[in-house]
């Protein structure tokens, strides 16, 4: 995390040949000649002094431990206390299931905590500390009572627990190591997520105006992830881009551990949970790959999803003791409302579990008649009460969605007949190569698990499988000639495929007559059990190298170290009223414009507006009725006509452009057309003055 510059000079007569590499060979820096940066890099190979390397890595691990502790007090302890208070029977669940419920409940609480700001009650960091202190004190009391109630011999750890803890440690190390050299989260989605979280922090709650970062006047987006990130920012003191990175990776770990809630419901084998963690967290590219996209909001939703579905499942079964039924309903309300505020599409995932359960348990859910008349099954009543409570909590934010285009766009997709779907949407919703979501071997094992569940008639496994089958149909209503293509995309479903993969493959050990998997077998099989443990840990070690290989900085990094230096220069050397033209390109079937280098981030990094707001401008209300059209038209004209066109210069004056910023990556990140602002051409334009050029970053000022 330090910057170095090497200077080579020739003393006396003669010359020297210096090896160079393409300009994109490294994300940062550039080769210089005579003090001027070139479109090239030095050819170099880094090596490290072992002792200093070890000290530096130890310092990094210290930061990991700090952030892990913050993650635990934020995302484990509050939910754990909440679940144990509302659901006394939770104490009878495996600790991995309780942990999954605790994590999901904690994440669901933070967006609900932000709701009072809609009526002017802004808790801000005070609310954060109230939740954290509640979790710490409640957990301390529970641990004290637990230690008193159990003999010392019960504190021994089982083999499966040991393997589970080792795999979780690998999971944490893999996710944290992956962001060690990143300053700014990757891809375009991360920009809007960072801005929303920063606005929540600035306003100590929800907001309408996006100023001073963007000219938008409504906020209708789901915000659960951003609420968690803002709370982590308040607790840790990290700047918001770093808080986004850490929140994303902590939730990446949590999304895998959270599966313990569903694994404990579907399988009775103690080995199912460690296998699910191994498969989903270390052998599958998802959700690790989310880091490249900044796909953090769906990730946060998928942390809450297992706990929400588990609660709906228990509620539908209707076997809860009457004294605990109220607690279960309250827990379900918090989880469903929190999920709705965290991700609208993942809420649909949870709701579609209800018809999946009904298909396989129809007799149980049908109204029954006796001598006193007809009776509605208690499971239906439970779910209706959870739904009603969740709707009431979600209602304030749902009403706000009508201020933008989210609700109208969703309704339009639902109403579009299958035969009228556009070619772009049909192409966008294509499933594609399944191996891009999960390795082929994992898909094969999922198929084996489904076949085995059908043969054994395991109702819980079949219910879980039916749920994901309905999700697949919901993403492809055209298969049944129904409208709604795109309302729930295949992409959203398949990047979540690690959930059924981990849970279903974990069920393969349920009732499987493999000697070394069962703790109750005679002691002479110890060697077999030890081999199984070593094998799982060995697969986990192999998986670490595979998952670290998933991180593709060339694919997703928009902001580099030179961009940060340039943004700092902009903050101190340009007027606060400056507005920058930055590199852009059209996306989503030419309906929206996105950025393609670090210039897009200037509003957050330098407090200077640009011609391009965050991608949410396509769904939010702008400062003028035609704001979206003006943004799109200006970008299109710049890219297709170039700055030589008089009409484009007129548009620049109308948009108030005073400067041009070309980032280190020079507009080529994910840019399919390759239409970029050419610095070599701009430097020759007499209407522009070069005021900054370091590494590959250029800043031009428009002459009066």
Write a three-state SS string for 405-461.
CHHHHHHHHHHCCHHHCCHHHHHHCCCCCHHHCCCHHHHHHHHHHHHHHHHHCCHHH
Domain contains 5:
no
Rg, C-alpha atoms of the chain: 27
**How does DSSP classify residue 622?**
B
Identify the helix (H) or strand (E) that includes residue 96. helix 95-114
- Mark whether 203 and 327 lie in a shared domain: yes
Domain contains 11:
no
The CA-atom distances, in angstroms, between 29 and each of 18, 560, 565, 664, 670 are 16, 9, 11, 8, 20
- Mark whether 522 and 569 lie in a shared domain: no
Tokens for 192? 């809007």
Domain contains 144:
yes
Question: How confident is the model over 639-682, as pLDDT tens digits?
Answer: 999 888 999 999 999 999 999 999 999 999 988 887 889 999 99
Domain contains 220:
yes
User: Rounded to the nearest 5°, which phi and psi values hold at 49?
Assistant: -70, 120
Q: Which domain holds residue 228?
A: 58-548
- Mark whether 256 and 386 lie in a shared domain: yes
Q: Which of 467, 534, 515, 547 is nearest to 256 (CA)?
A: 547
Query: Which residue do the tokens 């000290």 mark?
Result: 55
Per-position DSSP letters for 113-169, written without gaps between them: HHGGGGGT---THHHHHHHHHHHHHHHHHHHHHHHHHS-GGGGPPPHHHHHHHHHHH
Residues 38-47, mean pLDDT to the nearest whole number? 90
- Mark whether 69 and 214 lie in a shared domain: yes
CB atoms within 10 A of CB 368: 11
- Mark whether 106 and 67 lie in a shared domain: yes
Q: Is the pLDDT of residue 515 over 50?
A: no
Question: How confident is the model over 296-327, as pLDDT tens digits?
Answer: 999 999 999 999 999 999 999 888 777 788 99
Cβ-contact 536, 282 below 8 angstroms:
no
Q: How far apart are CA 92 and CA 78, in angstroms?
A: 19
**Considering 548, 574, 605, which residue would you say is the last residue of a domain?**
548
- Mark whether 622 and 644 lie in a shared domain: yes
CA 233 to chain centre: 17
pTM: 0.93
The answer for residues whose C-beta is within 8 angstroms of residue 10's C-beta and 6 or more apart is 16
- Mark whether 533 and 661 lie in a shared domain: no
- Judged by DSSP in three states, 688 sits in strand
pLDDT above 90 coverage of the chain, percent:
67
Tokens for 644? 């030589």
- Judged by DSSP in three states, 243 sits in helix
pLDDT score, position 524: 44
- Judged by DSSP in three states, 36 sits in strand
Q: How far apart are CA 136 and CA 327, in angstroms?
A: 21
Domain contains 3:
no
- Mark whether 563 and 469 lie in a shared domain: no
- Mark whether 607 and 656 lie in a shared domain: yes
Q: How far apart are CA 6 and CA 335, in angstroms?
A: 55
Q: Average pLDDT of the chain?
A: 90
Number of domains in the chain: 2
Q: Is the peptide bond before 178 cis (omega within 30 degrees of 0)?
A: no
Domain contains 584:
yes
Q: Which of 510, 462, 264, 450 is nearest to 361 (CA)?
A: 462
Domain contains 22:
no
Beta-bridge partner residues of 37: 32
Domain contains 525:
yes
- Judged by DSSP in three states, 662 sits in strand
- Mark whether 599 and 542 lie in a shared domain: no
- Mark whether 358 and 297 lie in a shared domain: yes
Question: How confident is the model over 257-284, as pLDDT tens digits?
Answer: 999 999 989 988 888 999 999 999 999 9
Identify the helix (H) or strand (E) that includes residue 581. strand 579-581
pLDDT score, position 517: 47
Cβ-contact 579, 46 below 8 angstroms:
no
Pairing status of strand 579-581 against strand 659-662: parallel
Q: How far apart are CA 551 and CA 473, in angstroms?
A: 31
Question: How confident is the model over 590-642, as pLDDT tens digits?
Answer: 889 999 999 999 999 999 999 999 999 999 999 999 999 999 999 999 999 98
- Mark whether 123 and 177 lie in a shared domain: yes
**Considering 548, 576, 602, which residue would you say is the last residue of a domain?**
548
Cβ-contact 310, 87 below 8 angstroms:
no
The answer for residues whose C-beta is within 8 angstroms of residue 610's C-beta and 6 or more apart is 579, 580, 581, 582, 599, 600, 602, 603, 661
Question: How confident is the model over 110-139, as pLDDT tens digits?
Answer: 999 999 988 888 888 999 999 999 999 998
pLDDT score, position 155: 57
**Considering 521, 548, 575, which residue would you say is the last residue of a domain?**
548
Question: How confident is the model over 235-253, as pLDDT tens digits?
Answer: 999 999 999 999 999 999 9
């Amino acid at each position: 995390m330090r910057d170095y510059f090497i200077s080579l000079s020739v003393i006396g007569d003669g010359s020297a040949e210096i090896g160079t590499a393409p300009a994109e060979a490294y994300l940062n820096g550039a080769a210089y000649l005579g003090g001027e940066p070139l479109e090239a890099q030095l050819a170099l190979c880094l090596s490290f002094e072992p002792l200093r390397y070890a000290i530096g890595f130890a310092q990094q691990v210290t930061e990991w431990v700090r952030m892990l502790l913050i993650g635990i007090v934020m995302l484990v302890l509050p939910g754990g206390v909440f679940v144990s208070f509302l659901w006394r029977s939770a104490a009878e669940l495996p600790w991995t299931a309780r942990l999954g419920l605790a994590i999901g409940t904690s994440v669901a609480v933070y967006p609900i905590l932000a709701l009072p700001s809609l009526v002017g009650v802004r808790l801000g960091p005070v609310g954060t500390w109230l939740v954290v202190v509640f979790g710490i004190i409640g957990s301390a009391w529970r641990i004290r009572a637990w230690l008193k109630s159990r003999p010392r011999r019960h504190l021994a750890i089982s083999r499966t627990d040991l393997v589970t803890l080792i795999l979780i440690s690998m999971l944490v190390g893999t996710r944290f190591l992956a962001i060690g050299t990143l300053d700014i989260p990757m891809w375009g989605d991360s920009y809007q997520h960072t801005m929303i979280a920063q606005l929540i922090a600035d306003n100590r709650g929800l907001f309408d105006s996006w100023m001073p970062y963007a000219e938008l006047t409504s906020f209708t987006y789901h915000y659960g992830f951003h609420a968690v990130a803002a709370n982590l920012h308040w607790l840790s003191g990290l700047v918001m881009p770093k808080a986004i990175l850490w929140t994303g990776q902590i939730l990446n770990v949590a999304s895998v551990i959270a599966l313990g809630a569903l694994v404990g419901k579907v399988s009775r084998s103690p080995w199912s949970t460690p296998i699910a963690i191994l498969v989903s967290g270390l052998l599958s590219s998802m959700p690790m790959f989310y880091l490249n996209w900044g796909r953090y909001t769906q990730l946060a939703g998928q942390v809450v999803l297992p706990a929400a579905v588990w609660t709906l499942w228990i509620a539908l079964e209707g076997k809860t003791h009457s004294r605990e039924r109220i607690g279960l309903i309250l827990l379900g309300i918090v989880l469903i409302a929190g999920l709705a505020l965290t991700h609208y599409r993942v809420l649909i995932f949870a709701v579609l579990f209800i018809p999946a359960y009904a298909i396989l348990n129809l007799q149980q859910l049908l109204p029954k008649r006796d001598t006193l008349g007809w009776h509605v099954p208690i499971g239906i009543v439970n779910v209706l009460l959870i739904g009603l409570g969740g709707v009431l909590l979600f209602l304030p934010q749902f009403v706000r969605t009508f201020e933008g285009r989210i609700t109208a766009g969703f309704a339009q997709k639902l109403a579009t007949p299958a035969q009228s779907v556009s070619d772009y949407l049909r192409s966008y919703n294509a499933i594609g190569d399944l191996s891009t979501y999960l390795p082929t071997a994992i898909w094969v094992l999922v198929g084996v698990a489904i076949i085995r569940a059908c043969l054994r008639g395991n109702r819980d496994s079949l219910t879980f499988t039916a749920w994901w089958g309905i999700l697949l149909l919901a993403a492809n209503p055209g298969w049944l000639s129904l409208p709604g293509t795109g309302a729930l995309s295949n992409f959203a479903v398949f990047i979540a495929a690690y959930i059924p993969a981990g849970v279903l493959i974990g069920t393969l050990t349920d009732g499987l007559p493999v000697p070394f998997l069962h703790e109750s077998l005679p002691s002479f099989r110890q060697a077999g059990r030890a081999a199984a443990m070593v094998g799982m840990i060995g697969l986990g070690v192999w998986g670490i190298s595979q998952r670290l290989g998933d991180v593709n900085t060339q694919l997703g990094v928009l902001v580099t170290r030179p961009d940060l230096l340039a943004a700092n220069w902009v903050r101190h050397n340009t007027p606060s009223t400056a507005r920058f033209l930055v590199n852009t390109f059209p996306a989503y079937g030419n309906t929206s414009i996105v950025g393609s280098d670090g210039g897009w981030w200037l509003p957050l990094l330098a407090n200077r507006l640009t011609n391009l707001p965050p991608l949410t401008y396509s769904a939010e209300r702008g400062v003028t009725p035609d704001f979206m059209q003006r943004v799109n038209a200006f970008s299109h004209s710049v890219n297709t006509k170039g700055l030589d066109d008089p009409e484009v210069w007129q548009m620049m004056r109308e948009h108030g452009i005073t400067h041009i910023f070309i980032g280190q990556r020079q507009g080529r990140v994910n840019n399919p057309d390759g239409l970029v602002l050419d610095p070599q051409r701009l430097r020759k334009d007499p209407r522009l003055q070069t005021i900054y050029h370091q590494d590959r970053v250029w800043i031009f000022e428009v002459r009066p």
